[in-house]
């Protein structure tokens, strides 16, 4: 910006996500009218001016000459709803491909096809020059895809059985830092909500939480680690809260935190007065919740850019050593976290 004011500055002042500010300033959905008005007024007061459109990036000469398409695959359980974290991430990848003068071809993998090993047509029929897989698919299914010998990249997950490039957020360290924030506030009884083995991201966030407990000599209690989804990956609507509750829950994502806060409120527990709840991702739902969810903001734009850049390098050089790129996030303090109340 000419005056140095960025959307992130507006977001920080108002305690909302950059995505929320972007949606408000561009008159997109996912923002209440009250918040939209507040964001626009503050942007005007600060003298915010939109930057000029970014000049398209060019792919490598060989790729640009050949043109073609890149496939984007995801499980239907992750990206069926507009406005979710994975919806924004997929849209970011598509935009990055456009900057590189490449087409994006999207295909959703159904639960039945994933179990049966039915490969997407765009891959099986070689309609694309490479694949970016968003979210997480079963290891067996990934092995079927790998057998096609198409350049591939995993986005927002990795798989221990695959020597394939991956771009992930800093799940372990960011969750560690979030848990430490609760410890610094005085919490000694902290639980975790997320089906730990469902995805590599949730597993790493759980391990970051565990590291913080260990460093601070706090007790880990298995009954304070709650499932948040069914074996097929779809969200649970109820939570098996223990009889003795912790004073805080670290949730693996904002969507889960949103549902947890609702469930606690139905039990007449106040957030954060009786129990603190944190999330991860910082997309629309974190601001829709009352109270707004303290969370980790994932740099979606940087993840999408890194994913496309890394895949194009793989297409140029298939023998390149596989790499895992970790994109750091940042904690966004909102209203769902406070010091524990005195008994």
Interatomic CA distance for residues 100 and 59, integer angstroms? 5
Tell me how long the chain is. 343
* DSSP conformation letters of 85-144: HHHHHHHHHHHHHHHTT-EEEEEEEPHHHHHHTPPPHHHHTT-SS-EEEES---HHHHHH
Q: What is the pLDDT of residue 65?
A: 47
Same domain, 86 and 165: yes
Within a domain: 52: no
Describe the crossing of helices 300-316 and 85-99 by its angle, rounded to 10 degrees: 50
Interatomic CA distance for residues 287 and 279, integer angstroms? 11
Q: How far is CA 5 from the centre of its chain?
A: 26
Three-state secondary structure call for residue 32: coil
Q: What is the pLDDT of residue 62?
A: 53
Same domain, 190 and 262: yes
Same domain, 14 and 69: no
Interatomic CA distance for residues 123 and 329, integer angstroms? 32
Within a domain: 335: no
Give the chain's domain count: 3
Same domain, 293 and 304: no
Within a domain: 163: yes
C-beta neighbour count of 273 within 10 angstroms: 11
Describe the crossing of helices 200-215 and 171-184 by its angle, rounded to 10 degrees: 40
* DSSP conformation letters of 192-250: EES-TTS-HHHHHHHHHHHHHHHHTTPPP-GGGEE--B-TTSPBPSS----SS--SEEE
Interatomic CA distance for residues 239 and 5, integer angstroms? 42
Cα-only R_g, the chain: 21
Within a domain: 2: no
Nearest alpha-carbon partner for 265 in 253, 252, 277: 277
Query: Residue 65 contacts by C-beta under 8 Å, 6 or more apart in sequence?
Result: none
Interatomic CA distance for residues 81 and 89, integer angstroms? 13
Same domain, 74 and 180: no
Q: Which residues are registered as beta bridge partners of 104? A: 70
Same domain, 32 and 124: no
Nearest alpha-carbon partner for 311 in 127, 134, 180: 134
Tokens of residue 281, six digits: 């991702």
Q: What is the pLDDT of residue 8?
A: 77
Same domain, 106 and 29: no
Same domain, 226 and 256: yes
Interatomic CA distance for residues 90 and 58, integer angstroms? 20
Within a domain: 220: yes
Kind of pairing between the strands at 330-332 and 295-297: antiparallel
Spans in the chain with pLDDT lower than 70: 1-4, 28-30, 50-67, 79-83, 343
Interatomic CA distance for residues 59 and 41, integer angstroms? 39
Within a domain: 342: no
Within a domain: 340: no
pTM of the predicted structure, to 2 decimals:
0.79
Q: What is the pLDDT of residue 154?
A: 96
Kind of pairing between the strands at 190-193 and 248-251: parallel
Same domain, 108 and 179: no
Same domain, 176 and 276: yes
Q: Report in angstroms the alpha-carbon separations of 100 from 131, 317, 322.
A: 15, 17, 22
Interatomic CA distance for residues 209 and 192, integer angstroms? 8
Q: Residue 214's domain spans which residues?
A: 171-297
Q: What is the pLDDT of residue 36?
A: 83
Within a domain: 232: yes
Same domain, 156 and 305: yes
> Which strand (E) or helix (H) includes residue 191?
strand 190-193
Q: What is the CATH number of the domain that holds 279?
A: 3.40.50.2300
Same domain, 13 and 124: no
Three-state secondary structure call for residue 147: coil
Instruction: Give the count of alpha carbons within 13 A of 132, CB side only.
Output: 31
Prior bond of 27 cis (ω within 30°): no
């Amino acid at each position: 910006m000419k005056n140095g004011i960025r959307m992130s500055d507006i977001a920080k002042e108002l305690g909302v996500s950059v995505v929320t500010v972007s949606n408000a300033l561009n008159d997109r959905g996912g923002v209440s009218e009250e918040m939209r008005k507040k964001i626009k007024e503050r942007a005007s007061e600060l003298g915010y001016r939109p930057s000029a459109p970014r000049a398209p990036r060019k792919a490598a000469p060989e790729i640009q000459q050949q043109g073609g398409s890149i496939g984007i695959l995801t499980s239907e359980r992750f990206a069926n709803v507009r406005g979710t974290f994975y919806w924004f991430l997929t849209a970011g990848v598509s935009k990055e491909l456009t900057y590189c003068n490449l087409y994006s071809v999207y295909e959703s993998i159904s639960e039945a096809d994933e179990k049966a090993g039915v490969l997407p047509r765009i891959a099986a029929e070689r309609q694309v020059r490479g694949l970016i897989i968003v979210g997480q698919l079963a290891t067996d299914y990934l092995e079927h895809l790998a057998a096609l010998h198409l350049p591939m990249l995993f986005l927002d997950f990795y798989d221990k059985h695959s020597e394939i490039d991956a771009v992930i957020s800093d799940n372990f360290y960011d969750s560690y830092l979030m848990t430490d924030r609760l410890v610094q506030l005085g919490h000694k009884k902290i639980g975790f909500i997320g089906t730990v083995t469902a995805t590599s991201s949730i597993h790493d966030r759980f391990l970051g939480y565990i590291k913080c407990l260990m460093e601070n000599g706090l007790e880990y209690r298995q009954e304070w680690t709650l499932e948040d989804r069914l074996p097929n990956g779809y969200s649970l609507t109820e939570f098996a809260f223990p009889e003795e509750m912790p004073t805080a829950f670290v949730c693996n994502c904002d969507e889960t935190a949103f549902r947890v806060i609702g469930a606690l409120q139905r039990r007449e527990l106040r957030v954060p007065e009786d129990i603190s709840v944190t999330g991860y991702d910082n997309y629309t739902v974190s601001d829709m919740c009352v109270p707004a969810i303290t969370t980790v903001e994932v740099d979606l734009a940087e993840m999408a850019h890194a994913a496309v850049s890394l895949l194009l390098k793989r297409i140029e050089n298939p023998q390149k050593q596989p790499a895992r790129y970790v994109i750091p996030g940042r904690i966004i303090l909102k209203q769902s976290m406070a010091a524990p109340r005195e008994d």
